[in-house]
Structure 1
Amino acid sequence: MTGIADRMLPPAEETGGPRRHNGRALAIVCAVAGLLLLALVAFQMVRPLPSARLRLVTPVSHTIPGALNLPWPAAGQAVLDVDGVGRMGASGSLQPTPTASVAKVMTAYVFLQDHPLRGGEEGPTYHVSPEEAARLPWRISRDETHVDVVANQPFTEREALEALMIVSANNIAHELARWDSGGDAPFAAKMNSTARRLGMTGTHYTDPSGFDATTVSTAADQVRLFRAAMRIPAFAEVVSKPTFTPRTGGQTRSGANTLLGSYGVIGGKTGFTSQAGGNYVFAVRTGGRLLIGAVMAQQHTTSSAVAVSAAQSLILAAESSLTRVTLAPRGAVVARVDDGYGHRIPLAATVPVTATGWPGLTLRLSVGGKPPRHAPAGRTVASVTAGGEHTALRLVRPLRAPSLLDRLTRLG
């Protein structure tokens, strides 16, 4: 019996085989899982931290009730912009039309780009060429605006720019072109290159004074240019002066910008030829905002006065139409910080969120800034922008650095 029983038992080495195999497999699985877990932890700890994102929680736009009604000129073209806000309106076809002396805005702008002039400085001295002095009778015979000059007469840069922009001296426009580029043709090429750089798609210059009817532009392009020019302090100083007095002595002469100093007008340039009609580009400071406008191609006139009068009506109506609106009170939550770990921290306005606009305008809101990784409650970390105006935003709660758990469990 014992022998038979012994023969029925399996060999001793076979009884523990499956258990050892299962234990070994389990150990391998645990080891692999551990390695994967360690790799995941290492990956989570070394991968770049997410950037905090700003999001608006208030409506992204606000339309001011009502409708705007401005007294646009019956003929020609006109444009009125509020710097930093947008276009208040436009009239006419906005097709290229002769600029007359409004072209001198570009002449001054190009010259100042090449020969910067500090505020209050006279700048270098230039001299009138004998050739330009000899042309004076010819310019007078063509009824060109001018200043009386003699050969080799000195002009400081500021004096020349004042003669150009205040009394609209054509002969000085051509001398500025010579002093800068050697002559009209290369200077006109600079004017056109600058126009393209500024996005003036309806503009072409053939001379520095605008007397040629082939020098053409649009009201929209001239608004674009005058805005850029008014950002140059020396230009703004020159066009803010109502009169021109020669440095070498002579009669003080008044400019044609009769609105200067009234209705908030701080600068401008008039122009007239029989082909161009009356033209006027201007800048107005009102309610803390800068208005830039242009009225062009005003026909059936013998001067720029009709364009100036049309601009006056526009200015008065625009000023009365501008209004301040409150988009959110002080302390209102208008945005939030998403820190990338699922935490959302509200941002509140430090002062009322306000903007300047006019009836019918839709103001667009946006939020910007670079929030830090962590900051205490109350710190200003962003701003909301509406109508070109910025309002600081503060943290309602602390913005905390990510914890170890945040970093390990981050999915995005």
Structure 2
Amino acid sequence: MLDQPRRLTRQQVYRRRRIVVFGIIGVFLVGIMYIGGSLFAPLPASAAVTEHQTTIAQTKAALQFPGFGASGITAPDYPGATQYNGSDASMPMASVTKTVTALVVLDKKPLKSGEDGPTIKFTQDDVDIWNDVIAAGGSWAPVEAGSSMTEKQALEAMLLPSANNYAISLAKWSYGSTDAFVKAANSWLAAHKFTGTKLDSPDGLSPNSVSTTKDLIGIGKLALADPVLSTIVTQKSVTLPGAGKQDNTNTLLGVDGIDGIKTGNTDQAGNCLLFSAQLTVGQSRVRVIGVVLGAPTHDDLWASVKTLLVSMKVGFHEVDASTVGQTYGTYTTAWGAKSSLVATSTKMFVVWSDTPIEVSLQTRPLQSGAKGEVVGEVTFTLNGKTQTAQLALNTALPDPGPWWRLAHPGGIGA
């Protein structure tokens, strides 16, 4: 006799049904968790793979100095753009001395920008000074007893035609005597640490009025910093009461950007020029101050100054450190999306010689991003000064979408 199948009790049936139901619910919940985790879990972040120079450098400058005397040149706003050639000893500076004379007179009788200053009345003593200068073979400009000039006009008479008589008259007017002036001038030079410079007279005719190329460049800086002198030395000519029209002895004015400062010439000093210029470098202007001492002839002097200035200009470079759209790297996501990292602006530097521009880059990790979104910056540093260009996505870096997310829960396989 066959055994009858054992019937489940009602309690067992309910238990089995609960197991099935809860199993289905569990599977459903696991599915929900999987889908939720896949669709809403944070995406893996991608870092940019960067491509950039750490420094940008140009070719080294090669200045063309004259083969005689002593010379030097500087661009005051550019560290390292200063070079000297020839002797560094003190040398006769001829009428370049008058630059010092002008600064020392203005130290006693200062003028502000636009001022003409007090009136100077000339006497027979000034006429006698004029006659003595003519007898000594010095440069001069006429003067009449009873005539007068403003202080600025007297400075113009001294500096443009290089009139020795006006240098002496100005020294006496401001300090009472030439001896008192010379003493004050040498004290002024010492106070400004121009230790290689000494004045023996206010006009520079004495070979004992000496300086060095280094000192003269420093003196040139002070002359250009003075609002009155910097204007006077740029003038090609001037018409003065009692003296008429007077031309500037610096015939290089306007050539290769030259706008000053003072010529000089004696048998002992040779031909000399303390000069300033504004050089055009691309869209920028570069201030330059230089000096040449001891040229055999005026032609040698003019030619050597022009050659030196041209080589100085060639030594400067206008550099676009970054340009709009320049690529600095790439973002590549785990799901295969790519976007270039590009600069959003142009950053330009004027660089002297092979002075390096330092380059540093900062970016942030990304999951996704829109076209043009700023994601970093590139910083350029030259001589302690910085410029920064923002970096942005060149194209969109899209979200991977639900299918990739479902296939890579939590970024697995990234």
- The interval holding the TM-score normalised by the smaller chain is 0.5 to 0.7
Secondary structure of the residue aligned to 1:252 is: strand
- Inter-partner Cα distance in structure 2 for 1:226 and 1:279: 14
Secondary structure of the residue aligned to 2:250 is: coil
Q: Aligned residue for 2:276?
A: 283
Q: Aligned residue for 1:110?
A: 104
**Pair 163,331 (structure 1): closer, same or farther in 2 beyond 3 Å:** farther
Q: Aligned residue for 1:242?
A: 236
1:315-394 correspondence to structure 2 within 5 Å: 315-327=309-321, 352=347, 354-358=349-353, 361-363=354-356, 386-387=382-383, 390-391=385-386
Aligned residues: 306
Q: Aligned residue for 2:75?
A: 82
Question: Match of 1:293, as an amino acid?
Answer: G
Question: Match of 1:180, as an amino acid?
Answer: S
Q: Is 1:101 matched up with 2:98?
A: no
- Inter-partner Cα distance in structure 2 for 1:232 and 1:70: 29
Larger radius of gyration between Structure 1 and Structure 2: 2
1:199-210 correspondence to structure 2 within 5 Å: 199-210=193-204
Deviation of 1:298 after TM superposition, in Å, equals: 1.6
- Inter-partner Cα distance in structure 2 for 1:96 and 1:317: 26
Q: Is 1:260 matched up with 2:253?
A: yes
**Pair 112,135 (structure 1): closer, same or farther in 2 beyond 3 Å:** closer
Q: Aligned residue for 2:173?
A: 179
Identity percentage over the alignment? 28
Q: Aligned residue for 2:294?
A: 297
Deviation of 1:92 after TM superposition, in Å, equals: 0.5
- Inter-partner Cα distance in structure 1 for 2:325 and 2:254: 40
Question: Match of 2:288, as an amino acid?
Answer: L
1:50-61 correspondence to structure 2 within 5 Å: none
Which residue, out of 137, 148, 161, partners 1:154? Answer: 148
Question: Match of 1:266, as an amino acid?
Answer: D
Q: Which runs of 5+ in 2 are unaligned?
A: 1-51, 327-342, 360-373, 392-414
TM-score by length of 1: 0.66
Secondary structure of the residue aligned to 1:263 is: helix
- Inter-partner Cα distance in structure 1 for 2:121 and 2:325: 62
- Inter-partner Cα distance in structure 2 for 1:294 and 1:199: 18
Does the 8 Å contact 2:357/2:380 carry over to 1? no
Question: Match of 1:357, as an amino acid?
Answer: W
**Pair 144,393 (structure 1): closer, same or farther in 2 beyond 3 Å:** same
Does the 8 Å contact 1:353/1:391 carry over to 2? no
Deviation of 1:131 after TM superposition, in Å, equals: 2.2
Q: Aligned residue for 1:401?
A: none
Deviation of 1:363 after TM superposition, in Å, equals: 4.8
Deviation of 1:395 after TM superposition, in Å, equals: 11
Q: Which runs of 5+ in 1 are unaligned?
A: 1-57, 333-347, 367-377, 397-412
Q: Is 1:126 matched up with 2:126?
A: no
Q: Deviations over 1:328-366 (max 9, x none)?
A: 67899xxxxxxxxxxxxxxx99862623312xx435879
Does the 8 Å contact 1:100/1:212 carry over to 2? yes
Question: Match of 1:294, as an amino acid?
Answer: V
Question: Match of 1:354, as an amino acid?
Answer: F
**Pair 385,228 (structure 1): closer, same or farther in 2 beyond 3 Å:** farther
- Inter-partner Cα distance in structure 2 for 1:231 and 1:268: 12
CA RMSD after TM alignment = 3.3
Q: Aligned residue for 1:215?
A: 209
Does the 8 Å contact 1:119/1:237 carry over to 2? no
Q: Deviations over 1:168-221 (max 9, x none)?
A: 011111111112111122222222233233332211111111111101001221
**Pair 349,220 (structure 1): closer, same or farther in 2 beyond 3 Å:** farther
- Inter-partner Cα distance in structure 1 for 2:325 and 2:263: 48
Does the 8 Å contact 2:58/2:317 carry over to 1? no
Does the 8 Å contact 1:243/1:253 carry over to 2? yes
**Pair 387,233 (structure 1): closer, same or farther in 2 beyond 3 Å:** farther
Q: Aligned residue for 1:192?
A: 186
**Pair 239,61 (structure 1): closer, same or farther in 2 beyond 3 Å:** farther
Deviation of 1:278 after TM superposition, in Å, equals: 0.5
Q: Aligned residue for 2:61?
A: 68
Moved more, 121-130 or 200-209: 121-130
Does the 8 Å contact 2:347/2:387 carry over to 1? no
Secondary structure of the residue aligned to 1:135 is: helix
**Pair 121,74 (structure 1): closer, same or farther in 2 beyond 3 Å:** same
- Inter-partner Cα distance in structure 1 for 2:142 and 2:136: 15
**Pair 317,154 (structure 1): closer, same or farther in 2 beyond 3 Å:** same
Does the 8 Å contact 2:316/2:351 carry over to 1? yes
Does the 8 Å contact 2:130/2:143 carry over to 1? yes
- Inter-partner Cα distance in structure 1 for 2:165 and 2:121: 12
Q: Aligned residue for 1:400?
A: none
